[in-house]
């Protein structure tokens, strides 16, 4: 039996507790419901919980049930809303129907009625999942997907096999509309370690692709195709800043795929290009972005231009897959793996050299690729190589073990510099965010969306890095900062509570008191009296 997550929202805790005790939730196929005291708290909790079903009262402080339902439907279109209230008014019922609420129940709630409601909702969710994962439907969809000619065209495009002068003719012949003026490739990766039991991985991939095609905003003009077992998107943008919004939408779709398709999805977004003839470089960036899931986690979108700007325009020779693999390890693996891979590369390379001439070409090519990699990644070459010597001549005189140790040392120096640059980049905008909070915490409109626009990064990347660096979500950090300021004002001034609330960024003094009590255990007035 499928298990679904439930959230109960009511400002009357005794009513909520009574509802929680009316049903055997686990037996009916639900996890034990989580409880929120009001709409604002529910909205914050939903980001962590990602509930399948929300049962909410209508009349609550700070944010009522109708506004909460509208926000949840916008964030999670597939969520099921059950509205309950003691107000038997037609206007509420009409609004509930408009919001596509599953049910509208009047208090007091009867156990049998509640059981029947949740049984129907469970069956509806089961039907949705079964429809997405129905083998026959997925196979039919797979056979009826994009025509083979279009698939071949996109494959050739990202492989860089189509001459620039022929692209327009292919677009016209195959009736493909790609007008840009800016383009980016996104690669959709599905973790093979979390495939639902009994599900064919190919069919799961089709299910995810169908979800993306149905839910992605039309303004991106996305074209979908399959390549090397992954779904690939080519998106179009009017302005460069649109790439940030696109990344955030991809991030939302990753969470939606986890909820609906039960798939662990990571979407890598490549750098922007102005010509379709350069789309292959965006594809390489998107593929590299997916690799960064080992650093930033799964079930999210990763934009290569945000996490590693130096990778955006990097062109790495793929003539030797082993060397390319070492470059990837330098960026993402640990020191032990980097050094081991570098030494193994030298050992295998020297075994294949049948003459002194081939040996010289091998080491010269190695040094050339290392220089190219260092420049592409904006590394300090003088800290990696001894610039007072002829490196080409030096390495040609090295014996096997010496060359192996030299390459291992160079790879580790590059690894250290790249890790330092990445840490400096993330620390830089986290520091900027913290500084902005310190200067503008009193601004009532300060939010994660505002901060991301200010910094010019997607909320997906910002949220991940901010929590990684500070141990808190941005909202949690902002709340803690405001509460510290409020505590100081309570102890050091005689200002009224509503004045302090405004001074630390809260327009509603009642909500300020609620947050303060949640933080310190008592109301502002009692806290001040206790300290005195």
Model confidence pLDDT, tens digit, residues 205-234:
999 999 999 999 999 999 999 999 899 999
Does 441-531 match 6-133 at the fold level? no
Mean pLDDT of 477-497: 94
Q: Please give the helix or strand (H or E) that residue 158 lies within, else none.
A: helix 148-158
Distance, in Å, from the CA atom of 199 to the CA atom of 188, rounded to the nearest integer, reads 18
Question: What is the reported pLDDT for 312?
Answer: 44
For 17, other C-beta atoms within 10 Å of its C-beta total 12
Mean pLDDT of the chain: 87
Share of the chain above pLDDT 70, in %: 91
The 8-class DSSP code of residue 194 comes to G
pTM over 0.85: no
Per-residue pLDDT at 10 exceeds 80? yes
Distance, in Å, from the CA atom of 403 to the CA atom of 391, rounded to the nearest integer, reads 12
CA distances (Å), origin 465, targets 45, 49, 288 = 20, 20, 18
Q: Which two tokens stand for residue 160?
A: 């860089």
Q: Please give the helix or strand (H or E) that residue 490 lies within, else none.
A: helix 474-492
**Which residue has better confidence, 121 or 109?**
121
Question: What is the reported pLDDT for 514?
Answer: 94
Does the domain formed by 441-531 have CATH 3.10.20.30?
Answer: no
Distance, in Å, from the CA atom of 477 to the CA atom of 485, rounded to the nearest integer, reads 13
Task: Report the range of poorest mean pLDDT among 134-148, 221-235, 412-426.
Answer: 134-148
| Nearest C-alpha neighbor of 126 from the set 285, 284, 234, 262 | 262
Distance, in Å, from the CA atom of 476 to the CA atom of 453, rounded to the nearest integer, reads 19
Q: Please give the helix or strand (H or E) that residue 268 lies within, else none.
A: strand 265-269
Distance, in Å, from the CA atom of 386 to the CA atom of 41, rounded to the nearest integer, reads 58
Per-residue pLDDT at 199 exceeds 90? no
Distance, in Å, from the CA atom of 233 to the CA atom of 221, rounded to the nearest integer, reads 10
Question: What is the reported pLDDT for 316?
Answer: 41
Per-residue pLDDT at 320 exceeds 80? no
Boundaries of every domain in the chain: 6-133, 146-310, 321-417, 441-531
Does the domain formed by 146-310 have CATH 3.30.390.10?
Answer: no
Question: pLDDT tens digit string along 62-104?
Answer: 898 889 998 998 889 889 999 888 766 656 666 766 667 778 8
Task: Grade residue 456 by pLDDT with cuts at 50, 70 and 90.
Answer: confident
Helix, strand, coil percent content, the chain, rounded in steps of 5: 60, 10, 30
Distance, in Å, from the CA atom of 198 to the CA atom of 153, rounded to the nearest integer, reads 34
Question: What is the reported pLDDT for 32?
Answer: 93
Distance, in Å, from the CA atom of 45 to the CA atom of 49, rounded to the nearest integer, reads 6
| Nearest C-alpha neighbor of 15 from the set 64, 72, 84 | 84
Mean pLDDT of 356-376: 84
| CATH annotation of 6-133 | 3.40.50.2300
Question: What is the reported pLDDT for 383?
Answer: 87
Using the structure block, give the residue that is written with the tokens 């944010």: 63
């Amino acid at each position: 039996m499928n298990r679904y997550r439930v959230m109960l929202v009511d400002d009357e805790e005794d009513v909520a507790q009574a509802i929680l005790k009316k049903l055997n939730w686990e037996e009916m196929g639900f996890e034990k419901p989580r409880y929120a005291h009001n709409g604002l708290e529910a909205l914050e909790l939903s980001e962590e919980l990602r509930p399948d079903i929300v049962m909410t009262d209508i009349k609550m402080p700070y944010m009522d049930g109708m506004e909460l339902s509208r926000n949840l439907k916008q964030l999670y279109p597939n969520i099921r809303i059950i509205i309950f209230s003691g107000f038997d008014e037609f206007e509420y019922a009409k609004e509930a129907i408009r919001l596509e609420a599953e049910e509208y129940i009047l208090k007091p709630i009867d156990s049998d009625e509640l059981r029947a409601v949740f049984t129907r909702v469970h069956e509806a969710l089961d039907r949705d999942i079964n429809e997405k994962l129905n083998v026959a439907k997925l196979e039919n969809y797979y056979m009826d997907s994009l025509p083979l000619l279009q698939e071949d065209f996109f494959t050739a495009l990202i492989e860089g096999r189509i001459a620039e002068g022929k692209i327009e003719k292919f677009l016209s012949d195959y009736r493909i509309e790609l007008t840009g003026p800016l383009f980016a490739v996104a690669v959709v990766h599905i973790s093979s370690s979390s495939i639902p039991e009994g599900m064919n991985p190919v069919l799961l991939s089709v299910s995810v692709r169908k979800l993306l095609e149905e839910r992605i905003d039309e303004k991106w003009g996305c074209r979908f195709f399959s390549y090397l077992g992954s779904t690939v998107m080519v998106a179009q943008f009017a302005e460069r800043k649109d790439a940030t919004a696109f990344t955030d939408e991809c991030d939302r779709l990753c969470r939606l795929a986890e909820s609906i398709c039960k798939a662990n999805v990571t979407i890598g977004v490549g750098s922007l290009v102005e010509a379709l003839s350069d789309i292959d470089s965006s594809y390489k960036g998107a593929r590299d972005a997916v690799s960064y899931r080992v650093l930033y986690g799964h079930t999210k979108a990763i934009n290569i231009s945000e996490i590693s700007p130096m990778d955006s325009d990097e062109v790495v020779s793929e003539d030797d897959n082993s060397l390319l693999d070492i470059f990837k390890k330098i960026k993402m693996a640990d020191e032990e793996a980097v050094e081991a891979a570098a030494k193994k590369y030298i050992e295998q390379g020297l075994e294949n050299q049948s003459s002194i001439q081939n040996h010289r070409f091998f080491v010269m090519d190695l040094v050339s690729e290392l220089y190219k990699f260092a420049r592409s990644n904006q590394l300090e070459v003088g800290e990696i190589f001894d610039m007072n010597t002829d490196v080409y001549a030096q390495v040609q005189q090295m014996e096997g073990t010496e060359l192996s140790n030299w390459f291992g040392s160079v790879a580790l120096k590059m690894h250290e510099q790249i890790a330092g640059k990445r840490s400096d980049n993330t620390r830089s905008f986290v520091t900027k965010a913290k500084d902005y909070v310190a200067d503008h915490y009193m601004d009532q409109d300060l939010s994660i969306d505002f901060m991301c626009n200010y910094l010019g990064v997607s909320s997906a990347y910002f949220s991940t890095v901010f929590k990684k660096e500070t141990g808190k979500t941005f909202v949690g950090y902002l709340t803690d900062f405001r509460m510290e300021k409020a505590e100081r004002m309570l102890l050091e001034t005689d200002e009224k509570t509503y004045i302090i609330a405004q001074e630390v960024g809260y327009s509603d003094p009642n909500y300020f008191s609620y947050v303060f009590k949640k933080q310190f255990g008592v109301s502002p007035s009692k806290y001040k009296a206790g300290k005195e």
